[in-house]
């Protein structure tokens, strides 16, 4: 059974609000409201007794007790208003500061962090769940505190009035809590049986809709087994889960009634055998009815809090994710434009095999290096460790002659331009997306870079030219067009080092011509490290670094040297030649 976040919610929230000092008065307000409400309920005992017996109770007659009730009600109303305001203030502070904290934390994370599952959960958390985070304090924790205080006051008052009545209420609490916990556990168990199957079913439906082309071309649109299997599984799991949930629901529906019946029966029996006066017994039954609804409200708030535990856990994970350590100030670079990997070994996870094994390579400033090798050989990983998406497990990565771990993110990023396969464009105009390369670039510079990268040609085709909105992520453009924009950005940025993934998938003939021209221009101005797929790029590079399938450097040298050396590179080259269908003559 999971523990309720009742105890740890305060320290957790204290870490997440910008004014933790405001939580104390809010909690104190809820306690005072609960105490006043509890006292108002407890005052029913002397009020009804005074009314029924026509005598004074503790020096006050019925009218006096009515005044007490009235004063408590007015005080409760006013205090409730102020407690609610304090709770809402904390809730709003919580929401505001969460957005800032999550934003700051995201900005500090290494780029590799965004490839992890946590980052996927983050988008759901920020888009849908964070808005409900404010409820935790305003609608769950505050009411929980005030109702618990009320219940405690009622029990204390009952003990004070008559120890037998106090004992009855005290015993009712664990009975109520145990039955409620059992019912919640049953409902949770029922949900855990059918919910995962429903998620699978939903995924299968989406898959079925998205893969209609492939399914129809295989003639399987009538009988898509994974979907029908998922439906059968979901149906079977739902039937089983519902049975268990129904028992839980029955228990939860019965608990309040059950406890009321027990309280009335016990109180009635005590009145019959003379242990209790009949009138106080009647007054007590009225109080017991309110007491059970207070208990029910406590459990509702507690369960609602419990349901927010995954959100708080997720926020904790995001907020405590460790940023890569970096210095606070930039240092002078000993060898601007150069890149070096010195005996680098790196695995994406401790359990998995290394993606790079003892990789050493040197890229002098101004040179062009082509990374080649089989799919999965670690070419993209080399680019990622150079950009410090991840810190390596052993060895060193130097950019500009300085280890990347000794540079500020700003210093490192100012040296690099990255043109990777998954180019992200902002939901803005085409021109604004090119300008991202360098915000202070002039119109002429933007046009020159765009001409070279083939973006001007795109602008001429689009309905609003340069002012065309490219859509979120650039979905209004094709993959090849997005890559051209990324190349224009790189040309504009004029970074000393360019990392370029020459994605074959995005290359049609026109794109290819642009890439060739852009690479030529880039290599005149910068060091270029290119994950190369085209024969001409590979053969034209100053140095070729061939990785093997296990992430080791198999060979490095010029094209002629590697070809003359025979080995895997020569085989790789011949395969590429026949695949690309043309012969390069030396």
From 271-279, 377-385, 397-405, 481-489, give the range in contact with ligand ATP by CB under 6 A: 377-385
Instruction: Please work out the total of residues on this chain that contact ligand ATP, with binding judged by CB under 6 A.
Output: 11
Contact between 376 and ligand ATP per CB under 6 A:
yes
Please give the order of strands across the beta sheet that includes 497-501. Answer: 416-419, 497-501, 527-531, 368-372, 543-547, 553-557
Give the nearer residue to ligand ATP in terms of CB position, either 142 or 378.
Answer: 378
- Of 22-30, 58-66, 373-381, 490-498, the window that binds ligand ATP (rule: CB under 6 A) is 373-381
Q: Which is nearer to ligand ATP, 230 or 385 (CB)?
A: 385
Interface segment toward ligand ATP; rule CB under 6 A; list 31-39, 306-314, 371-379, 561-569: 371-379
Q: How many CA atoms lie within 13 A of 1 on its CB side?
A: 12
The least distance separating ligand ATP from the CB of residue 358, rounded to whole angstroms, comes to 15
Q: Which is nearer to ligand ATP, 355 or 490 (CB)?
A: 355
Strand partners, 556: 545
User: Which regions of 50-102 does DSSP assign to beta strands (E)?
Assistant: none
Q: Which is nearer to ligand ATP, 196 or 376 (CB)?
A: 376
Please identify which residue in 379, 388, 484, 489 interacts with ligand ATP, judged by CB under 6 A: 379
Which of 76, 241, 378, 480 lies at the binding interface for ligand ATP (CB under 6 A)? 378
373 lies in the site for ligand ATP, by CB under 6 A: yes
Which of 343, 385, 373, 420 has its CA nearest to residue 550? 373
- Beta strand 543-547 pairing with 553-557: antiparallel
In the complex with ligand ATP, the residue whose CB is nearer, 189 or 552, is 552
Kindly list the distances between the CA atom of residue 315 and the CA atoms of 88, 102, 108, in Å, as whole numbers in the listed order. Answer: 20, 8, 15
Give CA–CA dist 498/385, Å, rounded: 14
Question: Would you give the distance in Å from CA 400 to the centre of its chain?
Answer: 35
Contact 517, 466 (CB under 8 A): no
In the complex with ligand ATP, the residue whose CB is nearer, 195 or 548, is: 548
Binding map of ligand ATP across residues 66-95, x = CB under 6 A, - = no contact:
------------------------------
Residue 344 or 355 with smaller CB distance to ligand ATP: 355
Q: Which is nearer to ligand ATP, 259 or 529 (CB)?
A: 529
Q: How far is the CB of 349 from ligand ATP (least distance, A)?
A: 6
Which of 111, 335 has the CB closer to ligand ATP? 111
Q: Which is nearer to ligand ATP, 147 or 379 (CB)?
A: 379
Tell me the pairing of strands 394-399 and 339-346.
antiparallel
Minimum CB distance to ligand ATP smaller for 28 or for 115 = 115
Out of 241, 248, 377, 540, point to the residue binding ligand ATP (CB under 6 A): 377
Site string for ligand ATP, 242-281 (x = CB under 6 A): ----------------------------------------
C-beta closer to ligand ATP: residue 245 or 554: 554
Site string for ligand ATP, 319-348 (x = CB under 6 A): -----------------------------x
Asked if 380 interacts with ligand ATP (CB under 6 A), we say yes
Q: Which of 149, 267, 301, 381 binds ligand ATP (CB under 6 A)?
A: 381
* Measured distance CA(482)–CA(424) in Å, rounded: 8
Which residues have CB under 8 Å from 65's CB, separation 6+?
A: 43, 46, 47, 50, 57
CB of 494 to ligand ATP, least distance (A): 26
Query: What would the x/- binding string for ligand ATP be over residues 107 to 136, using CB under 6 A?
Result: --------x---------------------
Structure tokens at 557: 């040298």
Tally of CA atoms within 13 A in the half-sphere of 425 that contains its CB: 30
CB distance 534 to 520 below 8 Å = no
Phi-psi region of 51 (alpha: psi -120 to 50; beta: other; left: phi over 0): alpha
In this structure, the strands spanning 543-547 and 527-531 are unpaired
Q: CA distances (Å), 461 to each of 310, 457, 478, 509, in order?
A: 49, 7, 13, 17
* Cβ-based neighbour number of residue 29 at 10 Å: 22
Q: Which residues, 207 to 226, sit near ligand ATP by CB under 6 A?
A: none
Three-state SS across 367-409? CEEEEECCCCCCHHHHHHHHCCCCCCCEEEEEECCEEHHHCCH
Choose, by CB under 6 A, the member of 375, 439, 442, 585 that binds ligand ATP.
375
By CB under 6 A, which span of 78-86, 88-96, 379-387, 519-527 interacts with ligand ATP?
379-387
Interatomic CA distance for residues 385 and 404, integer angstroms: 9
Phi, psi torsion values for 393, nearest 5 degrees: -80, -40
Q: What one-character DSSP code corresponds to residue 141?
A: I
Q: Give the nearer residue to ligand ATP in terms of CB position, either 208 or 348.
A: 348
State which of positions 351-370 bind ligand ATP (CB under 6 A).
Answer: 355
| 567: contact with ligand ATP by CB under 6 A | no
Rounded Cα–Cα distance for residues 421 and 369 (Å): 18
Q: Is 586 among the residues that bind ligand ATP (CB under 6 A)?
A: no
Residues at the site binding ligand ATP, with contacts judged by CB under 6 A: 115, 348, 355, 373, 375-381
């Amino acid at each position: 059974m999971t523990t309720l976040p009742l105890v740890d919610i305060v320290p957790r929230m204290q870490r997440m609000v910008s004014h933790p000092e405001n939580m104390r008065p809010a909690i104190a307000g809820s306690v005072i409201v609960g105490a006043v409400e509890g006292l108002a309920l407890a005052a029913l005992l002397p009020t009804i007794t005074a009314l029924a017996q026509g005598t004074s109770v503790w020096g006050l007659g019925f009218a006096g007790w009515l005044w007490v009730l009235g004063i408590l009600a007015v005080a409760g109303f006013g205090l409730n208003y102020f407690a609610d305001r304090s709770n809402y203030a904390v809730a709003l502070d919580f929401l505001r500061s969460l957005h800032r904290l999550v934003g700051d934390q995201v900005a500090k994370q290494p780029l590799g962090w965004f490839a992890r599952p946590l980052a996927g959960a983050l988008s759901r958390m920020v888009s849908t769940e964070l808005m409900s985070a404010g409820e935790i304090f305003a609608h769950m924790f505050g009411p929980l505190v005030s109702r618990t205080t009320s219940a405690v006051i009622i029990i204390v008052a009952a003990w004070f009035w008559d120890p037998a009545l106090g004992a009855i209420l005290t015993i009712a609490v664990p009975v109520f809590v145990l039955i409620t916990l059992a019912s919640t556990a049953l409902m949770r168990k029922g949900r855990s049986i059918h919910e995962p199957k429903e998620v699978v079913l939903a995924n299968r439906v989406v898959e079925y809709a998205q893969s209609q082309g492939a399914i129809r071309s295989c003639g399987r649109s009538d009988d898509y087994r994974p979907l029908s299997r998922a439906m059968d599984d979901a149906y079977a799991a739902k039937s089983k889960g519902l049975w268990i949930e129904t028992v839980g629901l029955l228990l939860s529906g019965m608990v309040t009634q059950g406890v009321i019946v027990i309280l009335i029966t016990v109180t009635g029996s005590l009145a019959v055998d003379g242990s209790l006066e009949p009138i106080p017994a009647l007054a007590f039954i009225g109080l017991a009815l309110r007491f059970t609804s207070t208990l029910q409200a406590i459990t509702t708030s507690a369960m609602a809090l419990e349901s927010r535990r995954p959100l708080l856990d997720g926020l904790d994970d995001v907020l405590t994710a460790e940023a890569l350590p970096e210095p606070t100030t930039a240092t002078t670079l000993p060898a601007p434009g150069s890149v070096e990997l010195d005996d680098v070994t790196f695995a994406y996870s401790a359990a998995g095999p290394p993606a790079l094994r003892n990789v050493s390579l040197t890229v002098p400033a101004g040179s062009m290096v082509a990374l080649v090798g089989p799919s999965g050989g670690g070419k993209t990983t080399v680019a990622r460790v150079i950009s410090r998406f991840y810190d390596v497990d052993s060895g060193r990565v130097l950019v500009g002659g300085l280890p990347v771990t000794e540079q500020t993110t700003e210093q490192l990023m100012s040296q690099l331009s990255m043109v990777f396969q998954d180019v992200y464009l902002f939901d803005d105009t085409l021109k604004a997306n090119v300008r991202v390369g360098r915000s202070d670039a002039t119109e002429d510079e933007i046009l020159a870079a765009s001409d070279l990268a083939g973006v001007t040609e795109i602008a001429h085709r689009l309905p609003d030219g340069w002012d065309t909105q490219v859509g979120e992520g650039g979905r209004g453009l094709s993959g090849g067009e997005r890559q051209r924009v990324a190349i224009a950005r790189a040309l504009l940025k004029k970074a000393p080092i360019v990392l370029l993934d020459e994605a074959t998938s995005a290359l049609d003939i026109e794109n290819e011509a642009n890439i060739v021209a852009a690479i030529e221009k880039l290599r005149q101005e910068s060091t270029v490290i290119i994950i190369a797929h085209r024969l001409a790029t590979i053969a034209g590079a100053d140095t070729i670094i061939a990785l093997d399938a296990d992430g080791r450097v198999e060979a490095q040298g010029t094209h002629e040297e590697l070809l003359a050396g025979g080995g895997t590179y020569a085989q790789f080259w011949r395969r590429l030649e026949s695949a690309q269908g043309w012969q390069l003559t030396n």
